[in-house]
Structure 1
Amino acid sequence: MTYTETGLITTIEQRTGTQMAALTQSQLDGIDQFHAGGAAAVDRILPGLKLAPGMTALDVGSGLGGPARQIARSTGCAVVGVDTARSYVDAATAMTQAAGLAGQVSFSCADITEVERGDFDAAYTMHVQMNIADKTGFFHHIGGRLRPGARLATFEVCQSGRDKPEVPLPWSLDGDDSFLTTPADLRPTIEGSGFETIEWVDETAWALEWFHELAVPSSADGAAMLPTLLTNGPRRMANFTRALADGTLTVHRGAFTFVGPRDHGRQDA
């Protein structure tokens, strides 16, 4: 398993020399966003979610919880995050409490198949499906947790062709848990799981520009810390950036409406 880091809050406080509650939002944005584009990528998926106060969004693969907290602050909605890595869920919960958002944002250590609610107003995934072998089942299960007409936003890494990127990568240390697909295959997989496409955009050039800006210390304000929290983090990030630059990998952003039967994802055998 790739996501085995433990004691994340202690590590963050040691690296910053600051208690969690005293970290600035800019510092947090560089730590708790485990995807290309950081907080700016969340801003790019927000319009497609159509969220407002009184609604609840489902964050599938919530990691350290940065997107969930950002979306809650930006829209006033509630967010429920699920992730299969206990250490990440514990860290996300602690960071949410420190941010004063515990009444609005919550996390649980669970697989999407274990989520019991079926009335979410929206869902999103950010750099998640690369670890999922059964992508059809994955998106069917997400659909089964949404009300009819709910929105789904994706910000996902894809493989351009047959060439594989060098490991380790942010989502895989040895490639055994990496299941990359092409954007030409991913979009119809999502559509076939009960969704209708609103938008499908290649964000590779934008993501590369973000990585280049991140390499300039004055532009990041602590955002370069994330790789230091991960096992072999700097090399994983460097391999990711190189694969985007040489065209092996792409980043695609999608927005979809759930139009399929509500029970698609409830078949949890």
Structure 2
Amino acid sequence: MQPNERSITDNYDRTDLEETILTAYENAGKDPATLTRDDTAALDEFHIQGRDATRALADLVDLQADDRVLDVGSGVGGPARTLAAEFDCDVTGVDLVEEYCRAATMLTERVGLEDRVTFQHGTALDLPFEDETFDVVWLQHVAVNVEDKARLFEELRRVLRPGGRLAIHEICAGAGGSPQFPVPWATDPSISFLVAPDELTRLLSDAGFDERAWTDTTAESLDWFRGQLERAASRPADASPPVGLNLLMGPETPTKMQNVVHNLEEERIEVVQGVLTAPESD
């Protein structure tokens, strides 16, 4: 493993995640054998604005049917399944956390998308794929945990075909100072490597990418997080735990969510979506 990768894995890893997820569905009155993508939506899109953000980014990158997509940092597979089911793409997911890969495969099989979506264990800094393999590389809330972003972006460019597109949805450093911890991507600053948006675009340019679209989604992100907290506060005290991101973030979920709201309100973090293109062949 690269430096910090063990700490990153420890931050996200959940023991017996597959069993935890299936038990949570049973407790919520859902038959785990007949799950749908609507059933999994609150759990499987582990990023700001959930499935809406995935759809917006897919539109921004002009995703086409039969595009071959690599989802780097694919988590438990929600975005990959959305791209396959709604945009008719073939998607490969790769993630540093083996437990996530197993859970992603299990959920994909249960919603019947295993013919379009596969997952494997691997690191974003040394992707297990040949050069120029993919039409689109997909990156949502991954660079936050990568210190060597220059190497990350060089590796993403390597596996993209000439003229291929990089779709990126990332959390950036804001002007308001260091973020409060814990947050969903880190319990402390040791594995949080935020850079300002202009530094992010510089690193992407240095790696050879050309910017095609860039959108600041900070305001929408804050509204979404506030809505999540309001819904959590309105749940009856005796209600069963929800089948949602709490299964991935653990017992500190409320604190992590509240800290993200504070960080957004105090301009300690910003959120961006963008599309960049790899250079065409000479």
- Settle same-fold status: TM greater than 0.5: yes
Aligned equivalents of 2:15, 2:281: Cα separation in 1: 39
Q: CA deviation at 1:16?
A: 2.8
Using a 3 Å threshold, how does the CA distance of structure 1 residues 228 and 93 change in structure 2: closer, same or farther? closer
For 2:258, the equivalent position in structure 1 comes to 238
Aligned equivalents of 1:245, 1:230: Cα separation in 2: 21
Between stretches 95-104 and 18-27, larger displacement belongs to 18-27
For 1:16, the equivalent position in structure 2 comes to 25
Match of 1:80, SS state, is strand
Aligned equivalents of 2:150, 2:17: Cα separation in 1: 32
Aligned equivalents of 1:50, 1:213: Cα separation in 2: 28
Count, aligned residues:
261
Q: Per-residue displacement from partner, 1:84-117 (whole Å, max 9, x unpaired)?
A: 1000111001011111111100000001313223
Using a 3 Å threshold, how does the CA distance of structure 1 residues 83 and 106 change in structure 2: closer, same or farther? same
For 1:247, the equivalent position in structure 2 comes to 267
Q: Per-residue displacement from partner, 1:54-111 (whole Å, max 9, x unpaired)?
A: 3210101000110000011111110001101000111001011111111100000001
Q: CA deviation at 1:162?
A: 6.7
2:137, 2:166 within 8 Å by CA — same for their partners in 1?
Answer: yes
Aligned equivalents of 2:246, 2:120: Cα separation in 1: 24
For 2:244, the equivalent position in structure 1 comes to 225
For 1:186, the equivalent position in structure 2 comes to 200
Return the TM-score normalized by structure 1: 0.90
For 1:161, the equivalent position in structure 2 comes to 175
Aligned equivalents of 1:93, 1:74: Cα separation in 2: 18
Aligned equivalents of 1:247, 1:72: Cα separation in 2: 35
Between stretches 12-21 and 53-62, larger displacement belongs to 12-21
Using a 3 Å threshold, how does the CA distance of structure 1 residues 107 and 194 change in structure 2: closer, same or farther? same
Of 107, 130, 141 in structure 2, the residue corresponding to residue 95 of structure 1 is 107
What amino acid does structure 1 have at the position aligned with 2:147? A
Q: CA deviation at 1:223?
A: 7.3
Return the TM-score normalized by structure 2: 0.86
Using a 3 Å threshold, how does the CA distance of structure 1 residues 255 and 28 change in structure 2: closer, same or farther? same
Please say if 1:6 is aligned against 2:15: yes
Where do residues 90-169 of structure 1 align in structure 2 (5 Å cutoff)? 90-112=102-124, 113-117=126-130, 118-161=132-175, 163-169=177-183
1:55, 1:77 within 8 Å by CA — same for their partners in 2?
Answer: yes
Please say if 1:53 is aligned against 2:62: no
Aligned equivalents of 1:14, 1:41: Cα separation in 2: 28
2:43, 2:247 within 8 Å by CA — same for their partners in 1?
Answer: no
Where do residues 36-47 of structure 1 align in structure 2 (5 Å cutoff)? 36-47=48-59
For 1:267, the equivalent position in structure 2 comes to none
Aligned equivalents of 1:198, 1:30: Cα separation in 2: 30
For 1:211, the equivalent position in structure 2 comes to 225
Aligned equivalents of 1:55, 1:123: Cα separation in 2: 10
Aligned equivalents of 1:114, 1:124: Cα separation in 2: 13
1:29, 1:223 within 8 Å by CA — same for their partners in 2?
Answer: no
Between stretches 8-17 and 164-173, larger displacement belongs to 8-17
Identical aligned residues as a percent: 33
1:215, 1:224 within 8 Å by CA — same for their partners in 2?
Answer: no
What amino acid does structure 1 have at the position aligned with 2:62? K
Match of 2:114, SS state, is coil
Aligned equivalents of 1:261, 1:160: Cα separation in 2: 36
Aligned equivalents of 1:189, 1:13: Cα separation in 2: 41
What amino acid does structure 2 have at the position aligned with 1:16? Y
Aligned equivalents of 1:186, 1:42: Cα separation in 2: 20
For 2:276, the equivalent position in structure 1 comes to 256
